[in-house]
Structure 1
Amino acid sequence: MPLGIRIFLVCFLFVGLAGWFVLSTVMEEIRPGVRQSTEETLVDTANLLAEILKEDVRTGTLDQGRLPELLKAYGERQPEAEIWGVRKNRVNHRIYVTDAAGRVLLDSSGVAVGQDYSRWNDVYLTLRGQYGARSTRADPNDPDSSVMYVAAPIRDGERIIGVVSVAKPNASLQPYIERSQRRLAWLGAGLIVLGLLVGGLLSWWLSRSLRRLRNYAQAVSEGQRAELPSMSGGELRQLASAVERMRTQLEGKAYVERYVHTLTHELKSPLAAIRGAAELLEGDMPAEQRQLFVANIGNEGARVQQLIERLLNLAQVEQRQGLEEQVPVPLRELAEALLQAQAARIETAGLKVENLIAPGQCVVGERFLLSQALANLLDNALDFTPPGGALRLAAERQGHWLELRVFNQGEAIPEFALARLTERFYSLPRPATGRKSTGLGLNFVQEVVGLHGGELRVLNVEGGVEARLRLPAVAD
């Protein structure tokens, strides 16, 4: 299924379900909301009438005044009011008054005078000083025939001498409820449709943008010339830029040119030396001189072989996405083994070597790679340590990390070279021979340390140079 359709379906489900839930919830709240507002109005009306009727109820002249006629006239009125699009042609309030015993003294409908209403909740609760209200069906079989009754006490001082109740049929409220529900339903449906339309446009735009990026990536993969599509969205523009950078890195034209150029330059010198020596060996020369040229060919051949081997090792590390194993590697034992392998060279140069790494200090990683990295560091340190100089290895715990330090006595590294030491093929002349190395050792070390999530730093310190490897330590 295309991504655009999936995004639209997600929008459809989310907007549809959210809209339906909100709409249904609000629709359910309309009816009780209208009735609550009506009840509040009935409370005010009942209390107003209680004050108006108080004197007539107290003196017992309620049926002798004009109030019955007024209520009859009120019931016959036709307001002809237009309320929010709903036509109101008659009044709906029913008003009745009871004495302190709950017997009806006055009824605007004229049907309940003399009846005992003391058991109806509106009268019963009001006579006991509570809020009296009830909702009763006019037709027990018709749920839409319910009538809301709200009562207020008629007081003579602190004594309740009667109750006035105001009633309103809920059916009279139904047109307003239905109108609000219809308007809300149309509005909700419109908002849902608008949301789906926006979701559809968003999914179309996103799908179109991704399709353009896909076409661009396919064209690049097929070797075609393609222009990077312009994107308006912030994240999509970043994605397009990332794809362009990835294309540049995959093609690697500048990188390959620089790599080949440097490699050619590095191979040119030993190959020229080998060719020159071979040409000279074709003629007659003393045995000692012949031996010198043969040794020169051997040395240059070894140099080329070392360059190729280091390039292969570096390529293998660069292609790795992670470590093949993560085991505790004891640094002291590893360093001792590497120093033993260089024992002849150390003894010849008369170097003073100190292994200050404490027993039991371990890092977590791949032993083979760590061994190769430390071997490269030692090789570098030995190259730059003068005869009779000092070489020192130490390690220090720093939280979850272990910092391995390889110090060699010697001249400080020039400032211009410090930032370039880990570049491929960049190397400084060795003090003993004046020749440069392959320039791949420290780059290899940096790649190995990066695979372990650590950090390599080479800096000048008092009396010499120190390389610091930050590697993950074994948890305590």
Structure 2
Amino acid sequence: MPLGLRIFLAYFLFVGLTGYFVLSTVMDEIRPGVRQSTEETLVDTANLLAEILRDDLKNGSLAQSHLPELLKAYGARSPQADIWGVRKNAVNHRIYVTDARGIVLLDSAGSAVGQDYSRWNDVYLTLQGKYGARSSRESADDPDSSVMYVGAPIRDGEKIIGVVSVSKPNRTLQPYIERSQRRLAWLGGGLIVLGLLVGGLLSWWLSGALRRLTRYAQAVSEGQRAELPHYRGGEMAQLADAVERMRVQLEGKAYVERYVHTLTHELKSPLAAIRGAAELLEGEMPTEQRLRFAGNITSESRRLQQLVERLLNLAQVEQRQGLEANEPVVLRELVAELLQGNLARLESLQVDNAVPPEAVVDGEAFLLRQTLGNLLENALDFTPAGGTLRFGAERAGKSWRLTLFNQGQAIPDFALPRLTERFYSLPRPGSGRKSTGLGLNFVAEVAALHGGSLHVGNVEGGVEASLLLPAH
């Protein structure tokens, strides 16, 4: 299972379970919370009525007062109130008054006058000077039919002469409870979904960052050129830097070993030629032979120097993972500079710079100059006197394809797939000597560094090298 998916599942379980428990706990607290607030209001209402009823109860004129009519009128009212989206069309308080013995003297419902309520907790506890409250069901089989009752003492000085009780059915609170629960469910659900979305995005980002770093490591392990992923600080940036340092150290060691081996192999031939010529020069010989062997030493020494220089240039390119500079380069001007620097070798050839002025590529000018120089030198070695050299360029999508045609013999089929192989070279037509075999390998490396490619093949009348580079 991918790491990002494992992280998301763990995050999902944590956020989901935490959200569920928190939400369910809060949902369970809504009902008692609403009822507690309602009970607090009933307490205030009962105590207010106790003060209003005190004088009439003390004087024994409660039944003859206007209070029965007021309570009856109160019970018949229709408020038509819209309370936070809940419609209220009737009043729900029931009010009754008992004397000091618990006998009902006044009842807003008109059904309990004369009954003994002294055993109900709201009356019983209040008459004892305690807080009197109870919750009773109107129907024993219906848990939603419970009614809250709160009593308040009616006092004559320090003496309790009666009790006034105020009640409210819990069913009238249910719409507010359900409304709060619905809103909380939507809000809680939305927060959980948002949390999971954030967790998913975090897991996706972390997985993507790890995938980029993994692809980079795989590309490096396969010998491919890849760009190190960039991260803005944090542990991922530190991990990327550590991987890059490890790559440099490991590749450096392997690279040195490989090049020491190949360089040793390639130096054997010119060193053997120099040593043989030097041994022969130690003895007596005609001047003509001495000059010939001395010339061999000079040419082989020059070959050694060229081999070392090209190996160093190739090593610098192969070790790089990206361009140090990326600027627009006008190909026609670059070709013109190269042709101007090789006028001596071009005197006997027909040269044509057919690169259009609008052919501009993005790259590192110094490397591109070395690349075209190697292509030109290779073409000069295989072009006979009076032959044709022609530079051209054409647009290929988002790239420019630079071509160099040289008139000459076709490349043998067996050599075509090996032309960019390091140290592989074909004999030159005039001298039969081979080059270092590093020129086209260098060109291919520079092309890959620029995100392009090199292709060399036979065409009608000669050979064409095609270099694909990104357009500006």
Shorter-chain TM-score bucket reads 0.5 to 0.7
CA shift, 1:398, in A, is: 2.6
**Residue type at the aligned position of 1:341:** G
Give the structure 2 partner of residue 435 of structure 1: 433
Specify the alignment match of 1:410 in structure 2: 408
Matches within 5 A, 1:91-130: 119-120=77-78
Report the equivalent of 2:456: 458
5+ residue gaps, structure 2, are: 32-71, 96-131, 139-143, 146-167, 182-195, 197-239
Say yes or no: does 1:290 pair with 2:248: no
Aligned-residue offset at 1:281: 0.8
Offset, 1:332: 1.5
Q: How far is 1:463 from its partner?
A: 2.0
Q: Is the 8 A contact 2:79 2:91 kept in 1?
A: no
Match for 2:266: what amino acid?
E
Q: Displacement, 1:353?
A: 1.4
Aligned equivalents of 1:146 and 1:369: distance in 2? 94
1:326-405 equivalence runs, <5 A: 326-347=326-347, 350-405=348-403
Alpha carbons of structure 1 residues 422 and 169: separation in structure 2 relative to 1, 3 Å: same
- Counterpart residue identity of residue 365, structure 1: G
For the residues of structure 1 that align with 2:440 and 2:91, how far apart are their CA atoms? Answer: 93
Equivalents in 2 of 1:252, 1:413: separation in Å?
Answer: 36
**Partners of 1:145 and 1:17 in 2: CA distance:** 41
Q: Give the partner amino acid of 1:407.
A: F
Q: How many residue pairs were aligned?
A: 306
Q: Structure 1 CA distance, aligned partners of 2:363 and 2:136?
A: 83
The 5 Å alignment of 1:19-98 reads 19-25=17-23
User: Secondary structure of 1:416's match?
Assistant: coil
Once residues 18 and 409 of structure 1 are traced to their aligned partners in structure 2, the CA distance between those partners, rounded to angstroms, is 75
**Secondary structure, aligned partner of 1:433:** coil
Q: Any gaps of 5 or more consecutive residues in structure 1?
A: 34-113, 126-130, 150-166, 181-194, 196-238
1:398-433: per-residue Cα shift (whole Å, max 9, x none)? 333211111112223233332322222122222222
Moved more, 265-274 or 322-331: 322-331
The match for 2:64 is none
Bigger shift: residues 395-404 or 14-23: 14-23
The 5-angstrom pairing of residues 221-300 of structure 1 reads 250=251, 259-300=259-300
Deviates more, 1:439-448 or 1:316-325: 316-325
Q: Which whole-Å CA distance do the structure 1 matches of 2:432 and 2:451 have between them?
A: 35
Q: How many angstroms does 1:285 deviate by?
A: 1.3
Instruction: Supply the distance in 1 between the matched residues of 2:287 and 2:370 (Cα, whole angstroms).
Output: 40
Q: Distance in 2 between matches of 1:425 and 1:283?
A: 35
Which amino acid is the alignment partner of residue 272 of structure 2? A
Q: Output the CA distance in 2 between the equivalents of 1:434 and 1:137.
A: 116
**How much has 1:249 moved relative to structure 2?**
5.8
* Paired residues of 1:383 and 1:430 also in contact (CA < 8 A): yes
Q: Give the secondary-structure state (helix, strand or coil) at the position aligned to 1:392.
A: strand
1:134 deviates by: 5.7
Query: Which amino acid in structure 2 is aligned with residue 382 of structure 1?
Result: L
Distance 1:121 1:271, change over 3 A: same
1:156-212 residue CA offsets vs partner (Å, 9 max, x unmatched): xxxxxxxxxxx9744999xxx9xx9xxxxxxxxxxxxxx9xxxxxxxxxxxxxxxxx
Q: Secondary structure at the match of 1:415?
A: coil
Superposition deviation, residue 352 in structure 1: 1.7
Aligned to 1:128: none
What is the identity, as a one-letter code, of the residue corresponding to 1:438?
T
> What's the counterpart of residue 324 of structure 1?
324
The answer (yes or no) to whether the contact 1:452–1:471 under 8 Å persists in 2 is: yes
Percent same amino acid at aligned positions? 54
Do 1:326 and 1:366's aligned partners in 2 also have CA atoms closer than 8 Å?
A: yes
Q: Is the partner of 1:395 in helix, strand or coil?
A: strand
- In structure 2, the residue matched to 1:470 is 468
CA distance in 2, matches of 1:170, 1:146: 11
Q: Which moves more between the two structures, 411-420 or 300-309?
A: 411-420
| Residues 278 and 132 (structure 1), Cα distance of their counterparts in 2 relative to 1, 3 Å cut | closer
Query: Secondary structure of the equivalent of 2:415?
Result: helix
Provide runs of 4+ in structure 1 moved above 3 Å: 14-33, 114-122, 131-142, 144-149, 167-173, 245-253, 255-262
> Shift of residue 22 of structure 1?
4.2
Cα pair distance change 1:139/1:297, threshold 3 Å:
farther
- Structure 1 pair 19–136 and aligned structure 2 pair: CA distance change class (3 A): farther
Name the Cα RMSD after superposition.
Answer: 5.1
Give the distance between the partners of 1:414 and 1:139, measured in 2 at CA: 112
* Change over 3 Å in CA distance of 1:24–1:380 after alignment to 2: same
2:308 aligned partner, one-letter code: I
Q: Which SS does the other structure have where 1:419 is aligned?
A: helix
CA pair 278-339 structure 1, distance change in 2 beyond 3 A:
same
- For 1:447, the equivalent position in structure 2 comes to 445
For 1:150-169, what aligned pairs fall within 5 Å after superposition? 169=170
Query: What is the SS of the residue equivalent to 2:455?
Result: strand
Q: CA deviation at 1:258?
A: 5.3
